[in-house]
Structure 1
Amino acid sequence: MTVHDQDLVAEWAQRFSEPTAGWSFASFEGKVGSGNPPWSYTDLARRFLPTARSVLDLGTGGGEQFLAFADVLPSDTHATEGWDPNVAIARAALAPHGIDVVAHNAERGEQLPYPAARFDVVMPRHAAYEVTDVARVLRPGGVFLTQQVDGRNLADLSAVFGADPAYPDTTLAVCQELAADAGLVVEEAREWNGKIRFADVATLVSYLRMMPWQLPADFTVERYASALLGLQQRAAPLTFTEVRFLLIARRR
């Protein structure tokens, strides 16, 4: 490894070790570019929220995305977050709007701390959920609205580091079937593939620190320096494949 390569690896390692706060990607503006699905999650949410009496946002992150709906949320609105560092951030952001945030991680098998038939709308965006529990807390006629990152998302990037998709069962077909099995009536199911472009390896490393599940469990910049330096030799921008899906369902 040349001295120049060593300097690059040291820079990337520093970037990867920087702490994350919340779930905002604003700092990547101009350095990361991607397409958009043919649907608008924001528009769909605004179709259902104005008439809802109670709303639950699952996996709110730092609350940044959910605050975009502050003008149409009912007074009976709640949120959950499963990543411990984000819980305090979300509470600070959402409490001024009267929104309670509880720590809850569906991936650990935790049941939602709400009674049955509690909410008119449950809306996880890019967050884990257990669909039978969602169906339990939905009122009859209540709406389940979710946009998810498919388990095959950035599979071509993960392959650079020899990693397989971390969530191979997170696909539209599987989630649609599970929703139906839980007693929900699926009203809309759509999938989208697109491209995401990173200006350089430094930007990519900063981005990946916010989604470590795309990487091998033993990932460190130093351990996978050869793979990163290989990316450095590619023509910029670095391009990979995103996969998203949308599911809208109602409780009978």
Structure 2
Amino acid sequence: MITHRARAALLAASLLLTGCGGAAASSSQRATASSDTASTATPSAPGLPAPEMSVQSAPRHIPGLGPETLADIPASARQVVVATGQDRDSPLSTVVLYHRFETGWKAGPAWPAHNALRGWTDHHTAGDLRSPIGVYGLTDAGGRLRDPGTRLPYDQSSGGFDSPGTGFEGEPLDGSFDYVIAINYNRKPGTSPLDWTRPLGAKRGGGIWLHVDHGGPTHGCVSIAEQHMKELLRALDPALHPVVVMGDHASLAR
């Protein structure tokens, strides 16, 4: 029987330049990666608080986020996706979409999620099987299936978002990239999630996405159920400058 550690080593070796998006690269994109040096809008979409909900008791700050984390959230951000890991070395997390009103932040539902096999890190590198901690923009989306109604730029590709093979627990990966949202960690904003530009260099990894959950840990991405991905895609609005805040509970509380 192949242990999780052995499986992780094999998969890490095959994904030295990528994160969860590794399986989605075409041959030309892999070649490019190898050569690379490395306003209060009224919410109406699923995943946002309903307009009729009271916001009088909304907290002024997002619960669970400490002063260092809060300071990294741009003042312009009125939508914040918070992915909170159970602990530093756990692949289990929870995702909540917050919307900022004049009186404070209102939370949407809490969705169960997975993050990287080995948990979280403040200094992500290619193949470390940890998700990067931090605050990152959400500007671009895509997937194998047609646009479900997002306001983000959406790149549909029947081949670029293939996800063959099995995960760390033997679960099939097929359909994992039916819907994805690129997390702006070591990538060029305003491009397709399939773009392999790595501003920090290839050694710092990349291809970190929000994507459809396949029932097990990821290589570095955050994954939620397909229905929740569709709700999130429909809810996010570029005019509200959405970001994701991601990390284990203790790190986000700093």
Instruction: Using structure 2 for the length normalisation, give the TM-score.
Output: 0.24
Q: Which has the higher contact order (CA 8 A, sep 6+)?
A: 2
Considering fraction of residues, name the structure with more helix. 1
